[in-house]
Amino acid sequence: MKARRMRETPTVPTRSDPAPAKLDRRTKDLTKRLAAGDIAVIKHSDIDRVSAEALVACRPVAVINADKSISGRYPNLGPGIIVDAGIPLIDATGAEIFDAITEGDEISIDGGTVYLDGKEVAAGVAQTPETIAEDMHEAEAGMNSVLVDFVDNTIEYIRKDSDLLSAELVVPEVRTDFDGRHALIVVRGYHYKEDLAILAPYIREYRPLLIGVDGGADAILEAGYKPDMIVGDMDSVSDSALTSGAEIVVHAYRDGHAPGTERVKALGVDCVAFAASGTSEDIAMLLADDKGADLIVAVGTHDTLMEFLDKGRKGMASTFLTRLRVGSKLIDAKGVSLLYRQRISSLQLTVLIIAGLVALGVAMAATAAGQTFLGLIAAQLDGVFGWIGSLFGGDPTAATESSGALRAVLDSRTAS
């Protein structure tokens, strides 16, 4: 596995003017309130791709990480995405930074040092493309052992602890009618925005049930749709999504405990619990299958080693078993946008059309018939412009006479 290649070395600022600090140990919670011009302060070991893209989308002045952005456990892509965007990344300042500053404090950076009111409050490592490449190279060296452990954990779970293929798995009753319908399950994974946009014609034509897995419900709303159902532990979905009218299914532990129900009920929204092991996207697929969906289309789901490591999971047994159970109903649309990226830009297409029209005009002007046709068009345009001029006080007979004279010339040319 190779580190991401950089087409060109980005220019990353080494210092900043004072800017408001926004702090949160959970990156996905911070990005909900992080604004352009803020400085993000997080505690995130091994920053994953999705979190990095969310941070970059907020356009912060800098990102300060109390933890190591690349621990060496695996070659995670997140830090490179942040630095490639030209955003300074200060690494491993220590958790003490959360005690040294508070939300809204005006802080600044200079190299790897963080200042508050001109005084140093924390120091870390200012990441560059070169330091990230070195860390990624070291992380790649240990991937063989990571892969072996991942496979061992997956096999052990399948043998000892899986309930997803068991007859004892109880799927809750829901009011949403899946029978004979398509179900589109949206997860905030790789390329979910682009894939959802590409699927717009499919959504218009087939009108599938839209199921958001946690933050995937917000992705559905952002795309201009309304979720029919939200499935998950409710830790990363917004209140506006939970109160959008969608049916709520809370992912519970196998013992029935579902912490997410407290948040949902506090909003005055009814919900049902689905007790099962595995991930929330797994139980969304199992629910759609059990309730009679004809087809299950998945966007943004996790099914590769890097994606599971990004999520902090040590195996993929539940995903493997879920896909065995769902079978041929499942169509994984993740990455479909990569197949339809436009290779010709709008500017190039416009220039091509103009060039074609010019070539057509030259060809027509070279023949008698073409000259006659162009003359007739010119006569009609002359009449139109004359009529427009008459509306503003011009002589309406001038346009008529001009058009008639030109038509007479054309008639004589045609006759000859």
Lowest mean pLDDT among 50-59, 226-235, 384-393: 384-393
Lowest mean pLDDT among 31-35, 293-297, 362-366: 362-366
Side chain identity, residue 59? R
Report the pLDDT averaged over residues 339-343: 51
Task: Give the residue with greater pLDDT, 384 vs 332.
Answer: 332
Q: Given pLDDT bands bounded at 50, 70 and 90, which one contains residue 313? A: low
Q: pLDDT value at position 362?
A: 73
Buried/exposed 174-199: b ≥16 CB within 10 Å, e otherwise: bebebeebbbbbbbbbbbbbbbbebb
Q: Is residue 319 scored above 90 in pLDDT?
A: no
The DSSP letter of residue 392 is T
CA atoms within 13 A on the CB side of 349: 5
Q: Is residue 393 scored above 50 in pLDDT?
A: yes
**Mean pLDDT, the chain, whole residue set:** 83
* pLDDT (tens digit per residue) in 60-87: 999 999 999 999 888 888 999 999 999 9
Q: pLDDT value at position 149?
A: 79
Task: Give the residue with greater pLDDT, 96 vs 398.
Answer: 96
Q: pLDDT value at position 6?
A: 43
* pLDDT (tens digit per residue) in 41-52: 999 999 988 899
Q: What is the pTM of this model?
A: 0.63
Q: Is residue 13 scored above 90 in pLDDT?
A: no
Distance (Å, whole) CA 47 – CA 62 = 15
